Copies of this chain bind each other. A is one copy, B any other.
Amino acid sequence: MTIVLKDAFWNRYTELIRNEMIPYQWDVLHDQADIFIDKERDDAAIPSEKSHAIENFNIAAGNKEGNHYGWLFQDSDVYKWLESAANSYALHPDDKLLSMIDEVVSLIEDAQEEDGYLSTYYQIEAPELRFRRLFESHELYCAGHLIEAAVAHYKATGSKRLIKVSEKFVECIQASFGPEKGKVNGADGHQEIELALIKLYEVTGNTDYVDLSKWFLEIRGTDPHFYSKQLEENKDRGLNQGHIPHINTAYHQAHKPIYEQEEAVGHAVRLVYIAATMAEVAAIHQDEKLFKTAQRLWENIITKRFYITGAIGSTVHGEAFTFDYDLPNDTMYCETCASIGLLFFAQAMLKNKIDVEYAEVMERTLYNTIISGMALDGKHFFYVNPLEVNPLASSSDPGKSHVKATRPSWFGCACCPPNIARTLTSLNKYVSTSYENNLYLHLFMDVEGTVKVGGQSIDLSQKVNMKEQGVVEITIKNVKEPLTIYLRLPSWGDNFHITGKYSGPVINENGYVSIEVTEDTQFRLTFDMPVLMHQAHPLVRDNRGKVAIQRGPFVYCLEEEDNGEDLHLLSLTERPVVTEMSDHSLGDYVGLKAKGKRAIIDDSWNNQLYQALGKESKEETFEEVDLNFIPYHLWANRSKGEMMVWLKTDNIEY
């Protein structure tokens, strides 16, 4: 299946990644960029002087002398860069990029141990602790990213060099892990190898990798004391200076076996990575029990722990889920990587069951939180994607120090930027899936190429316009046998019409309309894109009396630049309408405008913090104002200021 994105909206991002981000990250990884590395939050323990990631490999390979610097998982920055670079190379072959890729591949080969092991921190600093402090070692997490890079590299270049490195590392892992005496009978503290092994299986066909992935899935949480026992057993190896830290196993989703986990808890990225793997293995094995487990977590997230921007993770503490309906807008974490993981999870769910809800979550994450993670210059990134920001609070309230009002240029823990890059350079794989002689079209992006449907390869072209109206034009060529095409009817659309040559249509329970095609054809799906004012479930305390605006796949927000300061004094008094906008700094986008009110701060408040209603204070007065909305993902690309997604309403008619 080789469909290619021809979408101006998305290719702007892949171009930024190719022209700005990949070279920039290259410089960062080589400690050549003149950058300020920001801290994610006020925490002295966060390394932030430099990346040192390539240098760590050079030291591990014996090319240089020195110490490891950075996080235990610093290697993964290199692997994620490599995966992005390979994906980008596949889109735009380029000799210079290839030689950069080759240089890194060689360095990785050189750094790998004879027996396949590869983790620069442990190789340089603590070889005696190999696989012995899994709760935080990230050795298999890094192995996972190595494998994902290898798969991308192989697909882009045809070279198996990194696949060989990966398979050798997996042999080392197979030899080291398992229930046998002397082996490690547990899983890494950060899920990732599980997902990567599925990808390695997909390119090698070796089902051992699926088995190993499933073993890691199922061993997790069977012994909730595994991590602390491991530390206890290896105390004499200079581990943590003999101090055994308290381990919050729920953070690692290792508090109980996966089959007993009812709710999405702990570190959000870890949770969606493992949940995605459950769905992947379920699809490969047709494993109903695993699928049900994944579904239970999915439902808990989507119906109770999910932000309207496609984000997850309600607290910075452990970058974690909290509890049902707890969705604060200004203290949350909403990590870019967590939404990327949720995208993986949704796609894996689609492999088990076609349902519009999975596609809609993919879309919501992509068009909102994931691209909010990257500035329009391709050089500044958000880890944390708030739904409400007051820059003064970010700078003056330590509890909001993680909520940045502008995108920093790089982070001490640089997981998000390369994760965005590898994801946006491989969007083609999310657009469609096929099963038997059915072709499902999930996302409204311009694509062209060949897809396999049942026994035949057909040529597919999808052209989308989502400005005034939704218009999706699909051209199918090279049809030799009858096939069924399923078009997603987006929940945010209305008045759907299909015109063209086909039989049907049938509107299916799963939210797709299916049409029967027996020959080359062209058809067109059109729909209205009304401005939606979303309410949140009444138990979401922070959103009471407020609405969030959406049109098409885009959630909207108010920025101080367009609406003045103190956004909390504003309320919406009518449904917003489309005002096509073009701001030279934001590019083309569809803006929205509405009438609203702004509370006036009366003079009686001078030097008063509280006033008794009817005694000291009068009824509040308001002025009518225009409210100007921009798509959420565009925020923080102009002046530093307040931003707000959920907005109060006042006597609104709808």
B-contacting residues of A (Cβ < 8 Å)?
42, 44, 245-246, 299, 302-304, 306, 308, 314-318, 320, 322-323, 326, 331, 390, 392-393, 396-399, 492, 530, 532-541, 544-545, 547-548, 550, 566, 568-569, 599, 601, 605, 607-615, 617, 620, 648, 652, 654
Contacts A326-B396, A397-B314 given; indicate if A532 touches B609 (C-beta within 8 A). Answer: no
- Bound form: Cα–Cα A534–B492 in Å: 42
Q: Is the Cβ of A568 less than 8 Å from the Cβ of B548?
A: no
Closest to A569 in B: B538
- Bound form: Cα–Cα A399–B399 in Å: 8
Contacts A315-B398, A326-B397, A535-B617 given; indicate if A609 touches B568 (C-beta within 8 A). Answer: no
Contacts A303-B609, A532-B615, A608-B537 given; indicate if A326 touches B568 (C-beta within 8 A). Answer: no
Q: Is the Cβ of B605 less than 8 Å from the Cβ of A318?
A: no
- Bound form: Cα–Cα A542–B52 in Å: 43
Q: Is the Cβ of A605 less than 8 Å from the Cβ of B537?
A: yes
Closest to A332 in B: B399
For A303, list chain B residues within 8 Å (CB): 607-609
Partner of A610, one of B331, B399, B537: B537
Q: Is the Cβ of A399 less than 8 Å from the Cβ of B609?
A: no
- Bound form: Cα–Cα A262–B612 in Å: 28
Contacts A246-B44, A533-B612, A608-B537 given; indicate if A317 touches B398 (C-beta within 8 A). Answer: yes
For A566, list chain B residues within 8 Å (CB): 538-539
Q: Is the Cβ of A607 less than 8 Å from the Cβ of B396?
A: no
**From residue A32, how far is it (CB to closest CB) to chain B in Å?**
28
For A317, list chain B residues within 8 Å (CB): 42, 397-399
Q: Is the Cβ of B611 less than 8 Å from the Cβ of A534?
A: yes
Closest to A606 in B: B303
Question: Taking each of A302, A320, A397, which has the highest tally of chain B beta carbons within 10 Å of its own beta carbon?
Answer: A397
Closest to A321 in B: B396
**From residue A236, how far is it (CB to closest CB) to chain B in Å?**
21
- Bound form: Cα–Cα A532–B614 in Å: 9
Q: Is the Cβ of A614 less than 8 Å from the Cβ of B537?
A: no
Closest to A265 in B: B396
Partner of A601, one of B308, B538, B610, B614: B538
Q: List 29 A-B contacts (CB under 8 A).
A: A42-B317, A44-B245, A299-B607, A303-B607, A303-B608, A304-B609, A306-B609, A314-B397, A317-B397, A317-B398, A322-B393, A323-B396, A326-B393, A326-B397, A390-B541, A530-B615, A532-B612, A533-B614, A534-B610, A535-B613, A536-B609, A536-B610, A537-B601, A538-B566, A538-B569, A538-B601, A539-B601, A540-B609, A541-B568
- Bound form: Cα–Cα A183–B303 in Å: 65
- Bound form: Cα–Cα A323–B395 in Å: 10
- Bound form: Cα–Cα A390–B536 in Å: 19
**From residue A389, how far is it (CB to closest CB) to chain B in Å?**
12
Q: Is the Cβ of B397 less than 8 Å from the Cβ of A322?
A: yes
Q: Is the Cβ of B538 less than 8 Å from the Cβ of A620?
A: yes
For A654, list chain B residues within 8 Å (CB): 613-614
Q: Is the Cβ of B620 less than 8 Å from the Cβ of A331?
A: no
For A320, list chain B residues within 8 Å (CB): 398
Per CB-CB distance, the 8 closest pairs between chain A and chain B, nearest first, are A317-B398, A614-B654, A323-B396, A532-B612, A533-B613, A322-B397, A534-B610, A541-B568
**From residue A537, how far is it (CB to closest CB) to chain B in Å?**
5
Question: Taking each of A492, A599, A609, which has the highest tally of chain B beta carbons within 10 Å of its own beta carbon?
Answer: A609
For A545, list chain B residues within 8 Å (CB): 545, 648
Closest to A610 in B: B534
**From residue A565, how far is it (CB to closest CB) to chain B in Å?**
10
* A-B contact sample (16 more), CB < 8 A, given A535-B612, A538-B601: A44-B245, A304-B609, A306-B609, A308-B610, A317-B399, A323-B392, A323-B396, A326-B392, A331-B331, A530-B615, A538-B620, A539-B601, A544-B568, A544-B648, A548-B610, A550-B612
**From residue A387, how far is it (CB to closest CB) to chain B in Å?**
12
Q: Is the Cβ of B534 less than 8 Å from the Cβ of A613?
A: yes
Q: Is the Cβ of B399 less than 8 Å from the Cβ of A316?
A: yes
Closest to A543 in B: B610
- Bound form: Cα–Cα A620–B318 in Å: 35
Closest to A390 in B: B541
Partner of A534, one of B331, B547, B612: B612
For A532, list chain B residues within 8 Å (CB): 612-613, 615
**From residue A136, how far is it (CB to closest CB) to chain B in Å?**
15
Closest to A320 in B: B398
**From residue A378, how far is it (CB to closest CB) to chain B in Å?**
31
Q: Is the Cβ of B538 less than 8 Å from the Cβ of A599?
A: yes
